[in-house]
Amino acid sequence: MKFRHLGNSGMKISEICYGNWLTHGSQVENEQAMACVRAALDVGITTFDTADAYANTAAETVLGAALKGQRRASLEIFTKVYWPTGPKGPNDSGLSRKHIMEAIDGSLGRLQTDYVDLYQAHRFDHETPLEETMQAFADVVRSGKALYIGVSEWTADQIRRGAALAKDLGFQLISNQPQYSMLWRVIEGEVVPASKEVGVGQVVWSPIAQGVLTGKYKPGRPAPAGSRATDEKGGMSSVRRFTDNEELLRRVQGLRPIADELGLSMAQLAVAWVLQNDNVGCAIIGASRPEQVTENVGASGVEIPAGLMARIDEVLGDVVVTDPRKTQDSSPKQHP
């Protein structure tokens, strides 16, 4: 396992991060979830990402139980705040001071830890003054409940404004957690340059594009039984934008010779691809089976030659999404 600094902070993280969105507490039974976490630890993953909203807090509970007994100082535990939790009352979402201060205590209890290494704004809050949000985060850091602060799916302008306020308040904004893959590159034009300016690194989610970049979804064929595209609990809707595009699925199959040339699986190629970006601190992988963790970790330390990076671009062509406005669209204008 290779390790990287997150942003311009001194904290190092494993470049493969284990995340439990759409799995723990929902799609995957607890015993299997525990096995996946054990597999992650066995292959050298030290960084774990979750959120209070995943499975309406259940994912944090499962991860806390799975990590119990591990040396806390040897782990980097990330969680997030913004989306609705609990009974979803008027103050059960967003980035108000009230919600942040209550949410961090709930997360720490479920994760069975005194602090998280990174506490992230899960989206930008258009209903709360940014000054209020950043002041609350400053107080969370000063209280020792979080060591660093990050954001998720913020635009370039929002990242610049947040980083400036953080600096004024005496703490550091070190990360952004965006969707990023060979197929979804909306951060490259604006978010990555802005992040480099202010010392923010990327903690990227869905590097395998919800499993599409494994090549298991074939054009003209039904989705494999048991795959995310057949899961009615939530996975189906999140992957449909890819699987409904026959041309995209055809082009993904064209990546297989490149993976073979590098001696990688299709999943490993996808994860290795995002790690070629020097602003990426880690790639988050999810898993429903321990062997998926073991496979994906094979992407750590892989260097893809420039010629093959260019071939990937040629193969995928215009199915790649690059519009930076997609980031703005990810944060609701009102609390959900």
Residues forming the active site: 54
Q: Of 274, 277, 202, 285, whose CA–CA distance to 6 is shortest?
A: 202
Residues forming beta bridges with residue 17, ordered by sequence position? 284
Cβ-based neighbour number of residue 65 at 10 Å: 17
- Report d(CA 316, CA 39) in Å as an integer: 32
Token pair belonging to 45:
């993953």
Q: Of 160, 108, 105, 106, which Cα lies nearest the Cα of 134?
A: 160
Of the candidates 274, 302, 329, the residue with the CA atom closest to the CA atom of residue 126: 329
Strands 12-14 and 3-5: antiparallel
CA separation for the pair 235, 248 (Å, rounded): 19
Phi, psi of 327 (to 5 degrees): -65, -45
